[in-house]
Amino acid sequence: MVNEPASVTDTVEAVINLVGIFAFALSGALMAVRKRMDIVGMVVLASITALGGGIIRDVLLGDVPPAAFRNTWWLVLPLIATVLTFFLHPVVTRLHRSIQVFDAIGLGVFCASATAKAAQYGVSPLAAVLLGTITGVGGGILRDLLAGEIPSVLRRDTKLYAVPAVAGSIIVAVAHAAGQDGLWVQAFAALFICGFRLAALWRGWGAPAPRVSGPTI
């Protein structure tokens, strides 16, 4: 969460963050198109998907106003994603697979950096993992709720999404507990989450579900 990049690593982190925000914003804007919303709905869904998870994290940590309100680019990117999607949504839709890759990058970056931030705020490792995961998946949950759908991350037919988030967040939390706070830990965890998510997507890995019989209620 960097305002004025002071070094190469800071700049790299800031750029990757923006990639994640943009990917999440595209997925929000596309959902709005699918739901036949107007441009207001597109802006709202793009912004909430991109920024919602981080805002929840900052509110829970007491870091207000949330970082999203202090970074102009974070607020502008969802608007750009909306305009692009407004005019080019058939193209954007065809880029579905590319967006899933960006989304996986965003998931990795958000979970890893949020777990590190939470750990620095002194919460327990378990709570840090929880906050990291919430940050990664929270925006998508809000997007689905506003679109009138059961959040995809909760559904049986979804490929692993929260599980990579949790696994990668555990890496950061354990490293922090062991005194390792370097940015390379976050980078490794983010890559791990991203790779795990993409592998789940391409191999069709799902989470186990309880055996149930009878019709869906």
Residue 184 C-beta: closest distance to its own copies, Å: 26
Q: What Cα–Cα distance (Å) separates residue 8 from each residue in 2, 172, 183, 198?
A: 12, 21, 12, 27
Residue 202: C-alpha distances to residues 114, 132, 174, 189, 206 (Å): 26, 24, 28, 20, 11
User: C-beta of 200: minimal distance to its own copies in Å?
Assistant: 12
Picking from 107, 106, 113, the residue whose alpha carbon sits closest to that of residue 128 is 113
Shorter beta-carbon distance to its own copies: residue 89 or 191: 89
Considering the complex, what minimum distance in angstroms separates the CB of residue 30 from its own copies?
Answer: 10
First CA to last CA across the chain, in angstroms? Answer: 43
Report residue 40 as tokens.
């207001």
Closest CB to its own copies among residues 58, 187: 58
**How far apart, in whole angstroms, are the C-alpha atoms of residue 45 and residue 38?**
11
> How many CB atoms lie under 10 A from the CB of residue 207?
15
Of residues 70 and 202, the one with the C-beta less far from its own copies? 70
- The least CB distance from residue 11 to its own copies, in Å, is 21
Contacts with its own copies, residue ranges (CB under 8 A): 32-42, 44-45, 55, 59-62, 64-66, 69-70, 72, 75-76, 85-87, 89, 121, 123-124, 126-127, 130-131, 141, 145-151, 153-156, 158, 161-163, 206-210, 212, 216-217
Q: For its own copies, give the closer residue by CB, 44 or 190.
A: 44
